[in-house]
Amino acid sequence: MHPRTLLISLIIFTALAAPSIGLGQIFKKKNKEDKLDQSQPLPQEIFEFKNVNKIPFYFNRGTYKKIYELDEQKSWVDLYDKLKTYVTNFGIQNFYKDTYLLWRFAKLTELFGEMEDAKRLYKLVLKHHRDDIDVKAIELYFDSLNQNDIDYYVPLDYYYELVEYRKEVDTLRPPRGVLLNMGSNINSNLSDYGPTLGLNNNMLLLTSKRNVVIRSLAEVENEDIFFSKYNDGVWDESEPLKEINTPFNEGSACLSRNGQILFFSRCKSPGSYGNCDLFVAQMRKDSTWGNIQNLGFNVNSIAWDSHPSLSHTDDTLYCAPDRIGGFGLSHIYFTYRREDDSWTPA
């Protein structure tokens, strides 16, 4: 999402949630007189959301009503205390349903509490904000503001710089010089990604867009699964998994420890529950893949389910869906195999 779009969405989202409060007042930069008495500084707090993974949604009608009354009255210190109590009781769904309260608490924490706490809360705001508002209408509104009005708004870059968000996007990036291209035996001139190893690190699986197919009378890059074997210190030329690949998108594959069972994702195909589902295939006696099955509704949902990964003991399967009820965007779910080989609900 473009930073300006997210900024504008945050502004309008705030206006919709609390129409009685001036936007300029909400985004106004903090003044010294707004600070609490610093002769008795508040201790730095680490916010622990005790209800996460315990209840799906927290709601207290009385406190919720009081929060908006204090917001309307501009009783910032009292509002800060009420929000602290309410937000720290959030269940998982509150983070994307009550993002406004989370942002309001972050702003007041910056004013009256500890900056490090505010940074943690801003991270959650940036993570859980969703762009579900008419962007064109918002842009027209924003463009109608004069320069004096715009100056009351804190630029979105301020939040990103504050939480050093961009630096946390890829914390697993290796030092420069470690990344080595695997060469033309593995890679193509199109996108190749999602590598996993199996069979004592002698089998490489990857997802590639090198195959182009016709869909709706147009050429599109189709995602397929490719494999390569490691022989005598060299990776063989990558080949497609012909029994697995279809005109639909396949990828993110992983192998069982003995190499006999393959888990992978398939998207927008008949027989799927959602956008992408997890499937399983078994190695046949002739070393081809067959018995391809959807892992079922215990594992898959009506949302996007992908990136399967097996535990070393082959009895626990992890995946990364973006289904509703998660802690914001894609999250790690797991399911484990029962004695009858069925999978428990993820």
Higher-pLDDT residue of 243 and 111 is 243
> Is residue 5 predicted with pLDDT exceeding 50?
no
Terminal alpha carbon distance of the chain? 29
Backbone angles phi, psi at 240, to 5 degrees: -75, 145
Integer angstrom CA distances of residue 113 from 36, 70, 116, 125: 8, 18, 9, 17
- Whole-model pTM: value is 0.53
With 60 as the cut, is the pLDDT of residue 190 above it?
yes
Q: DSSP H helical segments within the chain, as ranges?
A: 3-17, 23-27, 61-73, 76-87, 94-97, 99-112, 115-128, 135-143, 147-150, 156-163
- The answer to whether 277 and 294 have CB atoms below 8 angstroms apart is yes
Give pLDDT, residue 158: 57
Query: Which pairs count as long-range contacts for 133-137, CB under 8 Å and 24+ apart, including other chains?
Result: 133/9, 133/12, 133/13, 133/16, 135/5, 135/8, 135/9
Q: How many residues does the chain have?
A: 346
Q: What is the DSSP string of 255-289?
A: E-TTS-EEEEEEES-TT-SSSEEEEEEEE-TTS-E
Least confident of 43-47, 197-201, 205-209, 272-276: 43-47
Return the higher-pLDDT residue of 166 and 211: 211
Q: Is the pLDDT of residue 195 over 70?
A: yes
Question: What pLDDT is attached to residue 324?
Answer: 60
Percentage of the chain exceeding pLDDT 90:
42
Residues 6+ apart with CB under 8 A from 155: 7
Q: What is the pLDDT of residues 8-32, one digit of tens each?
A: 344 333 433 333 333 333 333 344 3
Backbone dihedral region for residue 30 (phi beyond 0: left; psi -120 to 50: alpha; all else: beta): beta
* pLDDT-derived band at 157, boundaries 50, 70, 90: low
pLDDT digits (tens, 9 = 90+) for 158-180: 555 555 544 444 455 544 555 67
Q: What pLDDT was estimated at residue 3?
A: 42
Q: In angstroms, rounded to a whole number, what is the distance separating the alpha carbons of residues 186 and 123?
A: 38
The secondary structure of residue 167, as a DSSP letter, is G
102-111, 304-313, 334-343: the lowest-pLDDT one: 102-111
Could you give the CA distance from residue 323 to residue 142 in angstroms, rounded to a whole number?
32
- Asked if pLDDT for residue 295 goes beyond 60, the answer is yes
